[in-house]
Chains A and B, each alone.
Chain A
């Protein structure tokens, strides 16, 4: 079964600073990978998904971007953070055998 790693676990950044969140996957190859954001007390919002290296699809227009430089690496970035970027960022991978999505531990981002 696959394992999703994310870091850092928590992050406090000033408005206007850059962002890089990393997600890596173990135990599978060529997974579909996803970035979700969860605002306080809200549901999960899909931000990006990727079906392979260099293939990124954006779900909502925003201040963020994603990249997939390697098969098991998925990165979420921003050049200039906004206050509204605060939230809980979750990386997920789809297990092709069970067709289930599994989540990493998440990164809690606070933009001040």
Chain B
């Protein structure tokens, strides 16, 4: 199966670091994506991991461990504009290459 689990809500302070975890069932899986979605808007792509390890992109980093079915998104130097939902999505290793999304983690950044 492809259940994707992530915390519903998180709160962090401006300037701090926050880690958003995502766990999934590993069968038939190929690739783990992170998207940011501000309220009322479409998701925007943040990062993609297909191999184990850390991918860094400016203030955002994403980590994947395929054997453990675990990923996290790390946000550094938090800014108020980072308040949004963060969606973890796994891609099934089939021809359609569609994504299965978690319900998202709503992050509130406080001053």
A contacts, CB < 8 Å to B? 32, 34, 36, 42-46, 49, 51, 57, 59, 90, 94, 98-106, 108
Given the known A-B contacts A46-B98, A49-B96, A49-B98, are A99 and B31 also in contact in the complex, defined by CB atoms under 8 Å? yes
B45 touches A101 (CB 8 A): yes
Give the residues in chain A near B44, CB-CB below 8 Å: 103
Could you name 22 residue pairs across A and B whose Cβ atoms are closer than 8 Å?
A32-B96, A32-B97, A36-B101, A43-B87, A43-B102, A43-B104, A44-B87, A44-B89, A44-B99, A46-B98, A46-B100, A51-B95, A51-B96, A99-B31, A99-B97, A100-B45, A101-B33, A101-B99, A103-B42, A104-B42, A105-B41, A105-B42
**Most chain A CB neighbours (cut-off 10 Å) among B50, B89, B97:** B97
**Most chain A CB neighbours (cut-off 10 Å) among B31, B40, B89, B101:** B101
B43 at the interface (CB under 8 A from A): yes
Q: With contacts defined as CB atoms under 8 Å apart, how many contacts are there between chain A and chain B in the complex?
A: 50
A73 to B102, CA, bound (A): 27
Give the residues in chain A near B40, CB-CB below 8 Å: 108
A99 to B33, CA, bound (A): 10
